[in-house]
Copies of this chain bind each other. A is one copy, B any other.
């Protein structure tokens, strides 16, 4: 095959750049000039150089560290994603440096700058808000980047996300079949793709099950616990309170459970609470909490696989994983 015997040294000589520059361009490091990138890219095309066959030599210039920026390290969903990602990365001889954006754009940007400065070989990140200058700079730097959990409009980056629709559809079907017609919803921030997608899925599912959308049953939180407490208090204080509450992530569900107990309401008999994310703790509640599950382990592993394929010069397709409803309500056991 063409290009079999071509080495990175040939590419560097043909492009008229140093071996180090050629290596940096090919491994996607930020410290390269537009001119060097153009010359190396042209040399690769003209010589038929195939970087995959050269992985071993390229690796010499790598730090073998990747950056993983999660939204909230105290959210068990992201802890599970981080653990799975780190194990997948170690299997490929990469160490994962974890950063916590804490659901905050400025903190995300600090981590992006640090990852660039530390010359990690690539970054997996759950982007905050609607993007930022640092996020643009990261992507323009040619550092390999993969989005996880969330996407940002206008950024053409491979991503691993889940499709919230099937899980929310099943949850609404199950709740309405059990006689619930007043279903409260604690939505995530609408500046975040998962917040918008889950909100839309909820709004779309109701009419299919014969329920009109009632804006007084919809509240908005920030994916962190205290906002779930406040949102549930608001829902439960209404004269015609909901008989079931669906929360768009597990921390807001935890807040809703606290607010429910504070009002002396019992899960199962007085009210149902359905959480997003199947984290261990919710299965151990008594009674256990029904959840819309996404496979955090698969999300983490898949994000690292995508990133490593970008590092190897490939252009992987984005991946969308499914969600399912896990019904733990006592009524189904009778």
By a beta-carbon cutoff of 8 Å, the part of chain A in contact with chain B is 63-65, 73-74, 76, 79-80, 82-83, 86-87, 90, 95-100, 102, 107, 110-111, 113-114, 117-118, 225, 254, 257-258, 261, 267, 280-281, 284-286
Separation of A254 and B76 alpha carbons in the complex (Å): 14
B254 touches A65 (CB 8 A): no
B280 touches A225 (CB 8 A): yes
A-B contact pairs, 12 of them (CB 8 A): A73-B82, A87-B102, A95-B114, A97-B118, A98-B98, A98-B99, A118-B118, A254-B281, A258-B284, A261-B286, A267-B286, A281-B281
Separation of A79 and B80 alpha carbons in the complex (Å): 11
Known: A97-B97, A225-B280. 19 other contacts (CB 8 A): A63-B114, A64-B114, A65-B117, A73-B98, A74-B79, A76-B76, A76-B79, A83-B100, A83-B102, A87-B102, A95-B114, A97-B118, A98-B100, A254-B284, A258-B284, A267-B286, A285-B285, A285-B286, A286-B286
Total copies of this chain within the assembly:
2
Nearest Cβ in chain B — how far from A295, in angstroms? 15
Separation of A102 and B74 alpha carbons in the complex (Å): 16
Nearest Cβ in chain B — how far from A67, in angstroms? 8
Separation of A82 and B79 alpha carbons in the complex (Å): 12
Nearest Cβ in chain B — how far from A211, in angstroms? 29
Separation of A267 and B286 alpha carbons in the complex (Å): 10
Nearest Cβ in chain B — how far from A60, in angstroms? 14
Separation of A99 and B65 alpha carbons in the complex (Å): 11
B98 touches A110 (CB 8 A): no
A74 touches B73 (CB 8 A): no
Query: Which 7 interchain pairs have the tightest Cβ spacing?
Result: A98-B98, A281-B281, A97-B97, A95-B114, A74-B79, A118-B118, A73-B79
Across the interface, which residues of B come within 8 angstroms of A225, CB to CB?
A: 280
Across the interface, which residues of B come within 8 angstroms of A284, CB to CB?
A: 254, 257-258, 261, 285
A99 touches B97 (CB 8 A): yes
> Which residue of the partner chain B has the closest CB to A106?
B90
